[in-house]
């Protein structure tokens, strides 16, 4: 099986919790050169979210369904699929 391509993102606890619970199905990033380089023309299978920077920080793998662009608000809208794995986190 080929390795899956993953986009790695860090999230605040509230957003991490909402995605883990299935209440948040989109993540937003401002349209800036940094995010354009990371998103446009790239094909990812998953997004790896982390809540913190330590090795034991909460971690989650989520299916990536692509992105839309909201030009009025200047945002990339990352479409999230199923939560594939959660580590170091108790689902509430």
pLDDT digits (tens, 9 = 90+) for 52-78: 999 899 999 999 999 999 999 999 999
Torsion of the alpha carbons at 49, 52, 57 and 63, rounded to the nearest 10: 0
In a domain, 17, yes or no: yes
In a domain, 71, yes or no: yes
Q: For the chain, how many structural domains are there in total?
A: 1
- Tell me the whole-structure pTM to 2 decimals: 0.91
pLDDT digits (tens, 9 = 90+) for 5-23: 999 999 999 999 999 999 9
In a domain, 1, yes or no: no
In a domain, 92, yes or no: no
On whether the CB atoms of residues 21 and 62 are closer than 8 A, the answer is: no
On whether the CB atoms of residues 47 and 19 are closer than 8 A, the answer is: no
What is the DSSP-derived secondary structure letter of residue 4? P
Q: Which domain holds residue 56?
A: 6-87
For residue 77, the domain's CATH number is: 2.30.130.30
């Amino acid at each position: 099986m080929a390795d899956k391509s993953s986009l790695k993102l860090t999230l605040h606890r509230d957003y991490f919790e909402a995605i883990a619970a299935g209440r948040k199905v989109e993540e937003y990033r401002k349209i800036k050169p940094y995010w354009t380089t990371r998103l446009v023309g790239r094909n990812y299978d998953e997004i790896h979210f982390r809540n913190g920077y330590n090795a034991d920080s909460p971690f989650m793998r989520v299916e990536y369904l692509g992105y839309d662009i909201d030009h009025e608000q200047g945002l990339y809208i990352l479409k999230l699929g199923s939560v594939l794995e959660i580590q170091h986190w108790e689902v509430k």
